[in-house]
Amino acid sequence: MIMKFLKKVPAGMMIVPLLIGASINTFFPAALKIGSFTTATFSSAGSATAIGIQLFCLGTTLQLKDMPKILKRGGILLGSKFVIGAAIGITIGKVFGFDGVLGLTTLSIISAVTNSNGSIYLSLMKTYGDTSDCAAMALLSLNDGPLFTLIALGGSGLANVPFMALVAAVLPIVIGMIIGNLDKEMKTFLEPAGDILIPFVGLTLGAGINLSSVLKGGVSGVALGLITVFVGGIFIVTCDRFIGKRPGYAGWAVATTAGNAVAVPAAVGLIDPAWAPYVGVATTQVAAATVVTAIVVPFITNWWAKKYGCPQMNAINAAVAGKNSKN
């Protein structure tokens, strides 16, 4: 009964646990802080570990011959996500200043639109994409933090992001890839764990979200989420289709705001004090955008994949056609 319900919801294996975790954290936060294995498994404290293991297991499925394809797909998604976020934010900043427009600050716009939720992307690619789509998350992890926001603000020299932090983000998938290429039996053994961990990743990420953020962010925060999805998403999908020659489902899947993006305004304010007065309002707006995009994007990706095709559905349709021809 539970599995049937999860399969009916787009990216349900990720989104439903995420909403459960967010609901618990919003209304009963103490329940996730009782300590020991409960806190380690079900609270936001476990998210980094769950994602790291998931990336490692994903890495075992990658073959060296597929790397050019992975770099192309990931590069298009990463580049287009950055370009549209920077273009919108910088244009508004130049015209309206730091205060932004219609209640949306320049800082919140760039922070939200340039950062994508890699876990939702990966979950959607597990449902609709192929191995190369999933592997593109290694590149997309680079926009999960303040680096691209600072570059977009014209402060690339201010981006005090240690090189080892970038290495640490991609190392699990690289180690997994090495093991998977050296030993096919290890690949076969570890490959299923990537899917098994999806609900745990969703739950732990949700446990770091407070649903009241949507209320605190107000109409402007919801609007920011919709801009991230529809303005940013349309541009990314266009690049994915015309440059990457792909159906476009991956473009929609990356049109989210990362949970870690909530901390980006504060990081920018620390590095450049000129932005400090805008940190508070930008943080609540980005938090609202995180929730809005996490809910909206899976449904749009599901609709687009059914309309324009994707590897998983193409395989299912081919299997059905083959079965019918035999009959």
pLDDT digits (tens, 9 = 90+) for 11-31: 677 778 878 888 888 888 888
The answer, yes or no, to whether residue 119 has pLDDT greater than 80, is no
Neighbours of 1 (CB within 10 A): 5
pLDDT band, residue 304 (cuts 50/70/90): very high
Task: Tell me which of 1.20.1440.80, 1.10.3720.10, 1.20.1530.20, 2.60.40.1170 is the CATH number of domain 13-308.
Answer: 1.20.1530.20
Which residue, chain included where needed, has tokens 């975790």?
21
Asked if residues 207 and 28 have their Cβ atoms less than 8 Å apart, the reply is no
pLDDT score, position 191 = 80
CA angle 73, 244, 80 (to 5 degrees): 70
> Residue range 54-78: average pLDDT?
81
Beta carbons within 8 Å of 47's beta carbon, 6+ residues apart: 201, 204, 205, 207, 208
What 178-182 contacts at long range (C-beta under 8 Å, 24+ apart), as own/partner pairs, is 178/59, 179/59, 179/60, 180/59, 180/60, 180/61, 180/62, 180/63, 181/62, 181/63, 181/64
CA angle 275, 277, 282 (to 5 degrees): 75
User: Poorest-confidence range of 49-58, 128-137, 221-230?
Assistant: 49-58
d(CA 164, CA 319): 45
Tens digit of pLDDT for each residue in 40-64?
A: 888 877 777 887 887 788 778 777 7
User: By percentage, how much of the chain surpasses pLDDT 90?
Assistant: 16
pLDDT band, residue 254 (cuts 50/70/90): very high
Asked if residues 95 and 106 have their Cβ atoms less than 8 Å apart, the reply is no
183-197 b/e with 16+ CB inside 10 Å = b? eeeebeebbeebeeb
d(CA 250, CA 86): 20
Q: Which of 123-127, 199-203, 236-240, 269-273 has the highest mean pLDDT?
A: 236-240
User: Poorest-confidence range of 108-122, 179-193, 311-325?
Assistant: 311-325
- CA distance to 46, 90, 118, per residue, from 12 (Å): 20, 35, 16
Q: Which of 134-148, 180-194, 204-218 has the highest mean pLDDT?
A: 180-194
- CA distance to 146, 153, 183, 295, per residue, from 229 (Å): 20, 21, 40, 11
d(CA 314, CA 305): 10
